Copies of this chain bind each other. A is one copy, B any other.
Amino acid sequence: MRGQRTAAWSPAAGLLAITVGVLIASNHVATAQTLGSLETPATPLVLKAQGSFFIGGERVEQTRTEVGDLGPEGHITIHQMYVRYMVPQDENGRLPVVMVHGATLTGKSWETTPDGRMGWDEYFVRRGHPVYAPDQVGRGRSGFNQAVFNNVRAGSVPAASQAPWLRFSDESVWPNFRFGPKTGEAYPDTQFPVSAAGELAKQAVPDMSFGMPQPNPTLRALSDLATQLQGAVLMGHSQSGRFPLDAALLNPGAARGLVLVEPGACPATYTAEQIATLATVPILIVFGDHRDTPTGLPTLPSWQDRFEACQALIGRLTAAGGRAEMFDPPARGIRGNSHMIMQDRNHLQIADVILQWIDERVGRRPAGTN
């Protein structure tokens, strides 16, 4: 299924030279991916359907200042969730997989990797699963509520009314995402394509998580999406690693399986009743390697702490009769995986384990249903 490394548009030999010529125009230009680095798979992708839509959203009335003063006051829609989807020609009852990205990122996380390889979105489609990749509410193509910023600008509310926009600097990404102990210094066995780390940096967008309403509208949107799909596997990553759990609690019947990829939290605060509900759903938790790397973010738990919290959650779920499992690649001799495991060089090896788990533990739709 994996293809040769050629450009999507079969570039002539002169492409790289042209590209470099463009890119050195400014010292400040970030390290750039050439389009020639984008892989073309060996076989075509055959889709029954693809496109995008929104889930949820709230129609609110805002003042002329709040909408930016160009047009009149009136109604806008906020807190909708953008979802891009691809449905393979041959799904054969395989369940849709909803892939949710982490902090300061968007649905791009699951698309083409920083070094130009096929993303998990396409790979899961090629393995027969419809894939739905949202942008979390408040980010990317889902937009956010701009009213407070325009009110601060107008002086009608204090500057502290607006929450901080969160970004991770490259200096925090390298240890926190466990490419290596510090920026530019990779673990010898790292699976992350560190020469393309500059392309990962471009995937980052400002994150308004601290200014979102609670509960985060993304949770309801994920549950509603799974409900409309009449059952789906919910996959979260990092910040959204716990979202599949929280969405499943809103409609456990629609959450047919949960995959928590490097979850930022496995809460110890779920009640016995919530644990009993979550114990009805197959759950897989996936972590990478080098979890003892000091993250440089002392206000947050270490990745080893998070791993152990997830083991504790698995213990509670198992005690309640649940089917929760840990996929710990180092324990299987697979070393060097990072926090961005879906972009690591061995990302299809990791995906294959998840796909096998879905096949064996979650299964397909019954014959005769969709």
A contact residues vs B (CB 8 Å cutoff):
8-12, 15, 18-19, 22, 26, 28-35, 38-41, 44-60, 62, 67-77, 80, 82, 84-85, 87, 89, 91, 96, 106-108, 111-112, 116, 118-119, 122, 130, 135, 140-144, 146, 149-150, 152-155, 159-160, 162-172, 176, 183, 198-199, 201-207, 224, 227-230, 296-297, 299-300, 369-370
The answer to whether A162 and B169 have CB atoms under 8 Å apart is no
The contact of A52 among B12, B111, B370, by CB within 8 Å, is: B111
Given the contacts A206-B144, A224-B22, A297 and B53 also touching, CB distance less than 8 Å: no
Give A296 to B122 CA distance when docked, in angstroms. Answer: 44
Given the contacts A15-B230, A89-B44, A62 and B22 also touching, CB distance less than 8 Å: no
Q: Assembly of this chain: how many copies?
A: 2
Give A221 to B51 CA distance when docked, in angstroms. Answer: 25
The answer to whether B52 and A141 have CB atoms under 8 Å apart is no
The answer to whether A164 and B68 have CB atoms under 8 Å apart is yes
Contacts of A69 in B (CB 8 A): 164
Given the contacts A22-B227, A162-B153, A198-B77, A57 and B34 also touching, CB distance less than 8 Å: no
The contact of A57 among B15, B140, B202, B296, by CB within 8 Å, is: B202
Give A75 to B70 CA distance when docked, in angstroms. Answer: 34
Give A31 to B56 CA distance when docked, in angstroms. Answer: 9
Given the contacts A8-B87, A32-B57, A111-B52, A150 and B165 also touching, CB distance less than 8 Å: yes
Give A48 to B160 CA distance when docked, in angstroms. Answer: 50
The answer to whether B49 and A8 have CB atoms under 8 Å apart is yes
Give A170 to B73 CA distance when docked, in angstroms. Answer: 9
CB of A147, distance to nearest CB on chain B (Å): 9
The answer to whether A52 and B112 have CB atoms under 8 Å apart is yes
CB of A205, distance to nearest CB on chain B (Å): 3
Given contacts A41-B49, A146-B165, 16 further A-B contacts (CB under 8 A): A15-B230, A19-B228, A28-B59, A30-B56, A38-B53, A45-B46, A50-B122, A52-B112, A54-B203, A68-B165, A71-B167, A77-B198, A84-B111, A143-B205, A146-B206, A152-B153
